[in-house]
A and B are shown apart, each in its own frame.
Chain A
Amino acid sequence: MMTTQALPTALAAIVDDFQALTEPERLQLLLEFSQGLPELPERLKDHPELLEQVVECQSPLFLTIETEKGGGPAGAVRLFFKAPAEAPTTRGFAGVLHEGLDGLSAEEILSVPDDMPELLGLTRAITPLRMRGMTAMLGRIKRKVAASTAVRS
């Protein structure tokens, strides 16, 4: 069984929070993450073509990454998500990944295990079908980070 020790600090803290709760409380926490997902900055709001859709999500979810300039290989990766208010579960997943991964280095993000979403303990309450959306979101972020790292090296 994977433990939170393998995860970046912020993400490990989120996973610990979820695991400490009962199932209904976990759903409530996911709802809070959906409410806490930051808005897109203006420059991305006006350019939807800069975001990619994660089609595995049940509801429209778009994301992109940027690497902070001048950082070299350890430059901080910034994450941006867009999902409608009518899709709180999808927004909640995005909120968890944003709070857990935004600002980390490419290496830290790439080290997150692909099955990390299972650690949240939501699979039964949310169902495996819906959890696939979050796994796909993480996978897409990692692919984009890997691609941007390859370009720079």
Chain B
Amino acid sequence: MKGNAMSYPVEQNEKFAAYAHPERLVSTEWLAAAVENGAVASGQLVVVESDEDVLLYETGHIPGAVKIDWHTDLNDEVTRDYVDGAAFAELAASKGISRDSTVVIYGDKSNWWAAYALWVFTLFGHQDVRLLDGGRDKWIAEGRELTTDRPAPARGDYPVVERDDAPIRAFKEDVLAHLGKPLIDVRSPEEYTGQRTHMPAYPEEGALRGGHIPTAASIPWARAAAPDGTFRSREELDALYLGEAGLTEGDDVVAYCRIGERSSHTWFALKYLLGFETVRNYDGSWTEWGNAVRVPIVKGAERGSFPVAVGA
């Protein structure tokens, strides 16, 4: 593949070096230095904040960072799908992002939404997109600079690229065909077992049935993150996914949650930190599977088995 002329240098450190793709992460120190030396202000490096809360960026953000909202910017307004190539090109260009830009994404909640945005960038094949290890919370905990000034970036140059879903996105039919191969359920244990967590008078939105996809291992997404929001070390992630979840090298893996956001975080860890080649995020997740007609589910803490009797 042709080298990327505009690409910003990759961070080298001992922690990242142990990961399969160290070029996918940057540390807060590294980003602070890039802000300091003007790389962000000049547009050489584009920093994107992506949060669950649509107003959080407005309360203060990393100097020079632009905002991308998972819901209003990345989701299609009418179809349950992501924006198309033309809308993504317009969004990227308006944020000062060109096709060959190095983009660093960060956000709240241990980068849960930032990982989701990174996954959507990857659907469009954006090549150099990285996560800020530890996200917004670590940046703030370290007392680093925040601003409410909104940058006005020069328009980027972004072609209309058709989304290529197949390599990293699974649909319900794909998951049905995948049954028997490894699945990771990244929701809370209560969601996994199907136990009700709310009072009867306050109906829980989302799914008609509680439980999990047969054979799925339960590894809540946040277990991949340390208390400071950074990713766990290679050794810890190996113990979690190869040990506890039972994955083996070369496995074809599907991760899911409720709507596909939390599982983007796990997708990132499996794909870029542990180096699994084939990892797909099932964004339909439990809000689709738990409501779908004639798909098998398992209740309780056991993973369950496949094949199961369907429609009997």
A126 close to chain B: CB less than 8 A:
yes
- From residue A87, how far is it (CB to closest CB) to chain B in Å? 6
Does A31 contact B205, Cβ atoms closer than 8 Å?
Answer: no
- From residue A88, how far is it (CB to closest CB) to chain B in Å? 4
Does A127 contact B71, Cβ atoms closer than 8 Å?
Answer: yes
Does B71 contact A130, Cβ atoms closer than 8 Å?
Answer: yes
- From residue B78, how far is it (CB to closest CB) to chain A in Å? 12
- From residue B262, how far is it (CB to closest CB) to chain A in Å? 13
Does B58 contact A58, Cβ atoms closer than 8 Å?
Answer: no
Q: In the assembly, what is the distance between CA of A30 and CA of B59, in Å?
A: 11
Size of the chain B interface, CB-CB below 8 angstroms: 14
Closest to A92 in B: B55
Interface size class of A (residues with CB under 8 A): 20 to 34
B208 close to chain A: CB less than 8 A:
no
Closest to A143 in B: B201
Q: In the assembly, what is the distance between CA of A31 and CA of B150, in Å?
A: 15
A129 close to chain B: CB less than 8 A:
yes
A86 close to chain B: CB less than 8 A:
yes
With a cutoff of 8 Å between Cβ atoms, the chain A residues found around residue B198 in the complex are 55
A99 close to chain B: CB less than 8 A:
no
Does A58 contact B53, Cβ atoms closer than 8 Å?
Answer: yes
B56 close to chain A: CB less than 8 A:
yes
With a cutoff of 8 Å between Cβ atoms, the chain A residues found around residue B202 in the complex are 55-56
Does B72 contact A87, Cβ atoms closer than 8 Å?
Answer: no
Cβ-defined partner of B53 (8 Å) among A28, A55, A89, A125: A89
- From residue A52, how far is it (CB to closest CB) to chain B in Å? 10
With a cutoff of 8 Å between Cβ atoms, the chain B residues found around residue A85 in the complex are 59
A34 close to chain B: CB less than 8 A:
yes
Cβ-defined partner of A31 (8 Å) among B52, B58, B72: B58
Does B204 contact A88, Cβ atoms closer than 8 Å?
Answer: no
Does A89 contact B55, Cβ atoms closer than 8 Å?
Answer: yes
- From residue B66, how far is it (CB to closest CB) to chain A in Å? 15
Beta-carbon contacts under 8 Å, B262-287 to A:
none
Does B204 contact A30, Cβ atoms closer than 8 Å?
Answer: no
With a cutoff of 8 Å between Cβ atoms, the chain A residues found around residue B205 in the complex are 56, 132
Does A30 contact B55, Cβ atoms closer than 8 Å?
Answer: yes
With a cutoff of 8 Å between Cβ atoms, the chain B residues found around residue A88 in the complex are 53, 55-56, 58-59
Q: Mark A29-65, 1 if CB is under 8 A from B, else 0.
A: 0110010000000000000000000011011000000
Q: Mark B69-87, 1 if CB is under 8 A from A, else 0.
A: 0011000000000000000
Does A130 contact B54, Cβ atoms closer than 8 Å?
Answer: yes
Q: In the assembly, what is the distance between CA of A67 and CA of B108, in Å?
A: 37
- From residue A141, how far is it (CB to closest CB) to chain B in Å? 13
- From residue A94, how far is it (CB to closest CB) to chain B in Å? 13
Does B58 contact A86, Cβ atoms closer than 8 Å?
Answer: no
Closest to B72 in A: A127
Interface residues of A (CB under 8 A from B): 27-28, 30-31, 34, 55-56, 58-59, 85-90, 92, 124-127, 129-130, 132
12 inter-chain pairs at a CB distance below 8 angstroms, sorted by A residue, are: A27-B58, A31-B58, A34-B55, A55-B204, A87-B53, A88-B55, A88-B58, A88-B59, A89-B54, A125-B72, A130-B54, A132-B205
The 6 tightest CB contacts between A and B, nearest first, are A88-B55, A127-B71, A89-B55, A89-B53, A31-B55, A31-B58
